[in-house]
Amino acid sequence: MREIYLDNAATTKTEPEVVEIMNKVMLEDFGNPSSKHKKGVEAEKYVRNAAEIISGIMKTSAKEIVFTSGATESNNMAIFGTVQKRKRYGDHIITSAIEHASVREPFLELEKQGYRVTFVETDNNGVINMDALKAALDDKTILVSIMHVNNETGVIQPLEDIGSTVKSFNKDIIFHVDAVQSFGKLPVRPKKYQADLLSVSAHKFHGPKGAGFLYIKDGTGIEPFIYGGGQQNKMRSGTENTPGIAGLGKASEIAYSDETQMKIQHLSDIRTDFIKSLESIEGVRVNSTASDIFAPHVVSATFKGLRSEVLLHSLEEEGIYISSGSACSSNRPGLSFALSALGLNKTEVESTVRFSFSKYTTEDELKVCIEVLKEKVPFLRQFIRR
């Protein structure tokens, strides 16, 4: 059966060149990067090279890159590491109402520990309310954490404005950016955002699962929460995942090649056509418009009267894979904060699916998806309880 994979915001197919370099590291250059002999030196080169590739892309320094197991660890490290280091300066932390669970849950845990938490609301597109952010800042604020691109709707936050607002109020407030859904698709420049910390995960842009990094601006003090041999400048002890780091470096290099960026730009065009076709289906509301405030790889749509899981499995029968929400939240079901922020009620949220693309997504695949939807949606609606 033909397969059409449209769940790339959850994970992506690994690049063949990434698999190749990871195999080489595991089978040939398998030394411990901390070892002083030749095998260790060879392994350490992969770690250093990946940091140089990433820092070159983001216009930062290689020493500002700390490798992790992925987005959840990077976000937790940024949030808990910041409050632990700066707790004597204040007890107030700020995030948005539409953050990923790996940010929202740490904030809720810190709230239980006595920290004052502000969840800043967004407008009807999911863009953070700047007036509300300004009003939330106070002399005890120590951390602001805002995502770059929302994983459910694809809305892009105005990070330069946010960073400027935060730092103008108090330059010592730590500004953290979750760039998991933007790195590899959009330009990511921590210095332009005045970001102190920035999180990325490899498997969102054709790299391996279990590898990511946290950018830590030079001079930004955060407490590590993994102690041991003092690897990575004592910020994350433990033997580095050398194959994963090598794969992350190669995936980053490919993601920002001219060829890949041209393909991603092409996504904007086919996404626009896909949205128009979705809107031609009766009872469909597109939540991620064709506007430039949305990333090119995510489309959220509500199918009136259909439960998202029913539509998902119906498409699966045809070899088309989509999502009924964030894959990372599937173990903790509940009302989507991102979709609720768009004004959707409970029933509408439960009728919303996400289509997400990669550079491998073709115009023909999206046309097939639309054809199947036009056939399936009216058929499924026949079975709605009246």
Instruction: List the CATH number of the domain containing 181.
Output: 3.40.640.10
Longest dimension (CA), the chain: 73
- Residue 375 maps to a domain: yes
- Residue 176 maps to a domain: yes
Percent of the chain with pLDDT over 70: 96
State the Cα–Cα distance between residues 49 and 236, nearest whole angstrom.
Answer: 18
Lowest mean pLDDT among 105-109, 147-151, 323-327: 323-327
- Residue 90 maps to a domain: yes
Same domain, 145 and 293: no
Domain's final residue, options 204, 231, 255: 255
Q: Which is it for the CA torsion 209, 210, 212, 214, positive or negative? A: positive
State the Cα–Cα distance between residues 342 and 8, nearest whole angstrom.
Answer: 22
Q: What is the pLDDT of residues 14-52, one digit of tens each?
A: 999 999 999 999 999 999 999 999 999 999 999 999 999
Mean pLDDT within 324-337: 60
Q: Is 369 a catalytic residue?
A: no
Angle (nearest 5°) at CA 74 between 265 and 323: 50
User: What proportions of the chain, in percent to the nearest 5, are helix, strand and coil?
Assistant: 45, 15, 40
Domain's final residue, options 255, 281, 299: 255
CA distances to 13, 158, 187, 202 from 127, rounded to whole Å, are: 29, 8, 19, 25
- Residue 199 maps to a domain: yes
Q: What is the pLDDT of residues 253-274, one digit of tens each?
A: 999 999 999 999 899 999 999 9
Confidence at 289, pLDDT banded by 50, 70, 90: confident
Does the reported pTM lie above 0.85? yes
Q: Flag whether pLDDT at 386 surpasses 80.
A: no
Percent of the chain with pLDDT over 90: 88
Confidence at 334, pLDDT banded by 50, 70, 90: low
CATH at 341: 3.90.1150.10
Q: Residue with structure tokens 């919303």? A: 352
- Residue 386 maps to a domain: no
- Residue 328 maps to a domain: yes
| Domain assignment of residue 94, given as a range | 16-255
Same domain, 28 and 162: yes
CB-based contact 116:92 (threshold 8 Å) = yes
Same domain, 129 and 247: yes
Active-site residue, from 127, 130, 328, 368: 328
- The pLDDT, as a whole number, for residue 291 is 81
For the chain, the average pLDDT equals 94
**Structurally, how many domains does the chain consist of?**
2
Domain's final residue, options 223, 255, 287: 255
State the Cα–Cα distance between residues 218 and 93, nearest whole angstrom.
Answer: 22
